[in-house]
Structure 1
Amino acid sequence: MGSATRTTDHDTIRKWAEARGGRPARVRSEEPGGILRIDFGEPEERLEQIGWDEFFEIFDRNGLTFLYQEETEDGGTSRFNKFVHGSD
């Protein structure tokens, strides 16, 4: 796997996701907030799409950092991403 980058910058996260066809989503839950995901359109019954404003409200409230990869080792576009606790 190529190197991964950490960020909390909303514009960077949104641009990275949208460049790969991703949309903001969360895992359906009875609790407010929920577990954030970037939805790339693969069928996943438990995901619900949300707006970027709600997405970043949850992101900030939970003190998350976005870990992502621009390219794979072979130079292809990577969709690797993960939400972790802590700052960049």
Structure 2
Amino acid sequence: MSASKQTHDHEEIKRWASARGGVPAKVKGTGNTNDEGVLRIHFPENSENKDDLEEIPWEDFFEKFDEEQLDFLYQEKKADGEVSTFHKFVNR
């Protein structure tokens, strides 16, 4: 069984995402000029559905992340030992 971890540390989140080819993103069509909308970590090399996500700067991502008081729930490895990209945002 693989264990999940939870954090709101910006550097830890960036490290995890970058190690897997992930970038900060938002769902297109959500938010407005003052709000990034629905946040995601996007893995462009592993995704067929690139049209509904828009890459954003880490600074904008974390501004919204902190404003919404979110935590990042994630896995380092799958049960079989493979690197995992499982993650989700949860309330602190």
User: What TM-score, normalized to structure 1?
Assistant: 0.92
Corresponding residue of 2:40: 37
Aligned length: 86
2:71–2:90: 8 Å Cα contact kept in structure 1?
yes
Alignment match, 1:23: 23
Runs (4+) off by over 3 Å: none
Q: Secondary structure at the residue paired with 1:66?
A: strand
Distance in 2, Cα, partners of 1:30 & 1:74: 38
SS of 1:53's equivalent? helix
Deviates more, 1:73-82 or 1:36-45: 36-45
Alignment root-mean-square deviation, CA:
1.1
Report the TM-score when normalising by structure 2.
Answer: 0.88
Change (3 A) 1:57 1:67: same
What residue ranges of structure 1 are gaps of 5+ in the alignment?
none
Match of 2:6 in 1: 6
The percentage of aligned residue pairs carrying the same residue is: 48
Distance 1:19 1:85 in 2: 24
Long gaps (5+) in structure 2: none
Q: Does 1:71 align with 2:72?
A: no
**TM-aligned CA deviation for residue 46 of structure 1:** 1.4
Q: Secondary structure at the match of 2:84?
A: coil
